Structure 1
Amino acid sequence: MEMTQYLNVFMDEVQEHLQTLNTSLLALENNPADSSLLEAIFRAAHTLKGASATMGFNKMSNITHAMEDLLTRLRNGEIAVSSEIINVLFECFDLLDALAQGIAAGHEEDIEAAGLLTQLRMLASAGKKEVAITAARSVKHEIKPEYNRDEKALIEESISNGRILYHVSVKLREDCLLKGARAFMVLRELEKLGQVVRTWPLTKDLEDENFDDHFIIGVLSVENTEKVKSPVASITDVEIVAVEHIDLAGLPLSQSEEGTKETVRGTGVIRSGAVPRAVTSPTVRVEIKKLDDLMNIVAELVIQRSQLEQLSEALESKRLNEVVEHFSRLTVDLR
């Protein structure tokens, strides 16, 4: 099948599910307690997410992914349908319809979607404040942030110059595919706002994904709590963010000053008492957006792999089975 034929099939599917979205949303507006309408809206968004990701239309897949997160909480009864939620879902429909028209015309429309994505994530996180507080406390019990003398001196000097020390506790989604990359993106965002002093676990462990699903970053910044939290919370796969202002009087100090202290100089981490060595391993600069898009595509590939496996079993085609097995190996390697 030629790419044009794939696109035609895709557009037919998009129009069908957009119609379902519109009809179901209109009905939900009059009957917000009808769970069958939520199911229909969820299925339409879920299918659109998978199909658009497969075709490479990332803006459409990102919107439907965020819709799916909100709809999951609605279906589970964790939050109630409200007029605000219905209005935002109608905005999603309008955006998806505009994107579909652009795709039909030969390109994905350059439409601003960041504001709508933020609204969806805020609505989906409603009622999670207590969960965030509990999670932050849990992280602090499991990870004990401590600073050495050099770091303490740096912090004291920075605070005297008007900066604030924050502990940013981050919990990633359990199904996050590339934890190290997400942690790197969090670090990059915080470096834009100030100076990262230290991470728990250590930066190397974050890079090597040698951690569970949460970590803490100590950062010095002149920004307020919300400005520190907002860019981190908007990163894909970040489930919970808690930002705590640390007073100098309550600064946790390491009990041991031997050997392996980490101290920040600029944006790099060096070992106290050691001569910094030049980094010899080759690196490539990649835009954060490209990395983010790549990880979203990998996640969708995993979803499509499962669908292909089910289709292969149903059709009982030997050739298709071989293709699916190869595709499965490739997606495992990507992860």
Structure 2
Amino acid sequence: MMKMHGLGDGPYWMITYGYFLALSVIYMLCFVTFGSVLGLKFFTLNDYSIQFVFYFIYINLQITLAFLLASFFSSVKTATVTAYIGIFGTGLLSGFLFQFFIQDSSFPRGWIIFMELYPGFALYRGLYEFAQSATSGSNVGTDGMRWHDLSDSANGMKEVLIIMFAEWIVVLFVAYYIDQVFSTGSGKRPLFFLKGFQKKPLSSCKTLSIQRQGSKVLVQMEKPDVMQEREKVEQLLLEPTIDHAIVCDNLKKFYPGRDGNPGKFAVRELSLAVPRGECFGMLGPNGAGKTSFISMMIGLTKPTSGAAYVQGLDIKTHMDGIYTSMGV
């Protein structure tokens, strides 16, 4: 909805990311503060700077991972249930399986690092190292984890920080890429980032007008006003002007049949030219194609065939530019 009102992907991602980051940082500060006030050695003995770096990197990884997974869910309930199952499952596996591997000195270190690629296990390993350092320091009357302890081969905090930081950066770019490609209604081509290296195509209206030169549209059994509108559109495509804000040429939307039901044309060969400044309305019974037409014009669904232009921009390839002058 924000994109339909002209908000670009950059500001949207920055605002959303900043909101969740601020929320997570506040939670982290409250978590450490209350733990320290209560005198929990887990917080008081370990270096606060290490704790801050660990929590800060993890909450950023958590946010980017949420952005990534959001592209694969269309229902909030499904995403919520899946997240709870993942959280409970990770906790159980970490406590009864992963911890056993960490404590087993004969278990290959490489496999532990491989398992830590899963963010849930990386979080558990970091908390485990904090707990072990705090317990050891409390027993001998010394401090817990300090920065120089990260060089100890038995301490897994260093590798955890490296893994989470690398995943944070990688997942952020992957999440943005998937969001751009699979975005509903306005998804880009998989190689959209190579757009700058490709030849710029001719303007949309001009390209279609060239293709239509020398060809005639057969119009049979159409009402005079429909024929007149179609001829007007053909003329505008041959001689583009800036006087018309919307031009639709032979626009179609076909939904294939499912479960043995036949396919259906929601919009059939619509040709329309709306002058700039005109207030245009559509009247018709249910199933006439009004909503389907609007959905195509705002980028929610893609047309099966035909072409439509808003301010001279093709709805198939320049939807981002159209959004800057559209209100839905």
- Same structural fold, with TM-score higher than 0.5 when normalized by the shorter chain: no
> Which has the higher Rg, Structure 1 or Structure 2?
2
After TM superposition, the score normalised by the length of structure 1 is 0.21
After TM superposition, the score normalised by the length of structure 2 is 0.22
Instruction: Report 1 or 2 for greater relative contact order, CA contacts < 8 Å, sequence distance ≥ 6.
Output: 2
